[in-house]
Amino acid sequence: MTVDDRYQYLLLMAGCLIVTLPLEVVLRARVYRRPLRLLAALLPVVVLFVAWDVLGIRRGHWTYSELYTTSVILPLDVPLEELVFFVVIPICGLLTYEAVGTVLSVLRERRRRDA
């Protein structure tokens, strides 16, 4: 195991954010620009999935590789990477959803003008 292996999961999550960042900037997804709305969308998802994760961990349904995680364990025995996942992936999903909505609105407007 190399030191870098422990950060693979976190690097993957950072990569997801970096890849979807242009959706905010170029396609004006407005996800990061509305922090209260983002928090309202994230909070139920994070709470639900962390609870699900805690239950799975406590019941022994799954474990996490010490080779590919930082071994930072949060309260309730949740690995840092799991919390990061439950925040990052919904953000990427919201960015994608809002960007698609923006593109569709532009296309609808063009069709309306051309008609």
pLDDT, tens digit (0-9, with 9 covering 90-100), for 74-113: 999 999 999 999 999 999 999 999 999 999 999 999 999 9
Prediction pTM value: 0.88
Bridge partners (DSSP) of residue 74 are 78
CA–CA dist 92, 64 (Å, integer): 23
CA angle 49, 52, 53 (to 5 degrees): 85
Classify residue 61 as left (phi > 0), alpha (psi -120 to 50) or beta: alpha
Query: Where exactly are the structural domains of the chain?
Result: 3-114
Phi, psi of 74 (to 5 degrees): -85, 175
Q: What is the DSSP letter of 3?
A: G
Angle at 16 between CA 14 and CA 22, to 5 degrees: 105
Indicate the average pLDDT of the chain: 93
Four-point Cα dihedral 52, 41, 31, 8, nearest 10: -10
Return the number of other C-beta atoms located less than 10 Å from residue 95's C-beta.
24
